[in-house]
Each structure stands twice: as C-alpha cells, then as structure tokens.
Amino acid sequence: MVTPFDEKGEIDFSACERLIDHLIATGTDVLVVAGTTGESPYLTADDCQKLFHFCVEYVAGRVPIVAGTGTNSTKSTVERTRMADAAGVDAIMLVTPYYNKPSQDGLYAHFEHVASKTSLPVMLYNVPSRTGCHLQAETVIRLAEIENIAAIKEASGDLEQIAAIIERTPDSFAVYSGDDGLTLPVLAIGGDGIVSVAAHVIGDEMKQMVEAFLSGQKEEAATAHRQLLPVMKTMFLAPNPSCVKYALNQMGVAVGEVQLPLIPLNDIEKKQVDMVLGSLSTIKK
C-alpha cells in the first residue's frame, strides 16, 4: 500500500481510509503497509507507529495487515516490530538490511534475532536491486526452519532461486513474487501469489488472473498476464511508487505526491501513464 501524504509531507489519514477501501474493494486479500511502495525510508518510527495503529483500527479485521518493520539496523528493526505487534498487526515483513552489506551468516543472524523477539509470522523480503544485499536461496532455506518465519517476498527476479526455495522449504512456507511481471511464472513453478504494486490500479484483474491459474484455467491466465504486462511495466517507468501514486490520483483516489528524494513524474512520464490508464477500459471488458 502506498502511503498518502498531505502537502506538508505528513501522513494523510483521511486519504488512507479511501485508499484502503479502494484496495479491499478491488481484490486485495492482505494489506502490506510501510513497505517499499509505502516509502518506508521516509517514514519515521513515530510515523510507522501511527500508521500501524490506524490501519488496524480502520481495517477492523476485513483483511490481514502485514507491517513493514525492516531497517538496516537489527536494533531498530526489533523496535519497529514491537510497535507493530503492540498495534495488533497480523504479520511483519523484514527487508534485507541495506547499505551494511552483511554476509549470509550475518543475514541469518539478523533475521533469526528479530524473529525470536516476536510471535508474529515473519515474511522475509529479498530485493537486491534496491538494497545492494542478496538473500541467497540456501540462507532462506535455513531460515524457513525457524517456526515463525513463514514466507518470503522474492523480488530478485531470479526464477532459478525462487524454484530452489519452493522446492527445499516446507509446504507451509509461502513464496510470493515481489515483481508484478513475474506473477504468473512464479505461480507456474509453485509460488503462492504476488505482493503487488500494480494491484493499486488493476487489482481485480490481477486477482482474476491468479484465481484463473489456480483453478486450472491456464490459457485464460496466460492471456490475462500478457494483457496486463504493459500496465505492470508502466508502473515502474520511474522509481516506485512515483508512477502508481500518479495513476491513483488520476483515477480519483487521492494519495498526494511522493516525498524527496523521490520526485513527481515529468510530463513525458505522465503521458505514458495516461496512455496506459486510457487502455484499461479495453482490458477490463
């Protein structure tokens, strides 16, 4: 979920209400808050605490809530995890520590330590293109043995790695694509779903595609995947979540602008997003 901001750069909780209603109404099964798409590097610990409490209270059990509590400090990750636990979220998502570049043993120790400080289910998050830190399959397989490490959001783009994780972790360990464009390929090798950015714009269509595949309608799912790829690709023309925030605003779901160091789209980028939004009526038929 993107984080709506007002003109002063503060969280706009009224806009959060409208956004949450929009997401739930268009097929979102679980809300992930304060993740990359939520501009987590911009959010202070106080922002996160307020956002976690607000989302739990407003959602009121309609869907589960996963809180992004990972930072590049094990200490602060534990602190944010405790905040999320106290707020009543259903699970946490832990990104690999960025900038520090720990070893694989260091990554194992980090995630093991944080998991030991909470009873909440933990979703690991591997996104080396953003963090400069790659969580290797062997390390994920070791971590999956820890009771409350229950899932991974895999955004490495490496289908061989994802296949190895699926093959060598317990059936109860869920593997989600972290890339919209790999949703169907990840499902095809045994993955469990998608932690999606594009679902802000094409939520119903994404859900229909996943459900078609899982119900054995492979051709229908493949057709939907091909039709939706241009939308998925366009949502990443500029650093996420710049495009999806612009698209939401154009759709009448006001979420404000991205915050520095991210910047709003330029005119050329806006035209490209507008063109894709204009084509959605054809896809949605």
Instruction: Give 201's pLDDT tier (boundaries 50, 70, 90).
Output: very high
Q: Is it the case that residue 284 has pLDDT exceeding 80?
A: no
In this predicted model, what pLDDT tens digit does every residue of 271-280 receive, in sequence order?
999 999 998 8
Task: State the pairing for strand pair 91-95/122-126.
Answer: parallel
Q: Which domains does the chain show, CATH number per domain?
A: 13-218 (3.20.20.70), 219-285 (no CATH)
Q: Once rounded to an integer, what is the mean pLDDT over residues 236-244?
A: 97
Pairwise CA distance, residues 168 & 237, whole Å = 35
Active site (annotated) includes residue 245: no
Of 153, 176, 245, 246, which is the active-site residue? 153
Neighbours of 184 (CB within 10 A): 22
In this predicted model, what pLDDT tens digit does every residue of 60-119 receive, in sequence order?
999 999 999 999 999 999 999 999 999 999 999 999 999 999 999 999 999 999 999 999
Q: Is it the case that residue 264 has pLDDT exceeding 90?
A: yes
Q: Residue 283's pLDDT is what?
A: 61
Model's pTM, two decimal places? 0.94
Q: Once rounded to an integer, what is the mean pLDDT over residues 250-279?
A: 96
Q: State both tokens at 220.
A: 């229908």
Q: CB within 8 A of 53, min separation 6: which ones? A: 87, 88
Q: Is it the case that residue 238 has pLDDT exceeding 70?
A: yes
Q: Is it the case that residue 285 has pLDDT exceeding 60?
A: no
Active site (annotated) includes residue 153: yes
Of 58, 98, 101, 125, which is the active-site residue? 125
Q: Residue 98's pLDDT is what?
A: 94
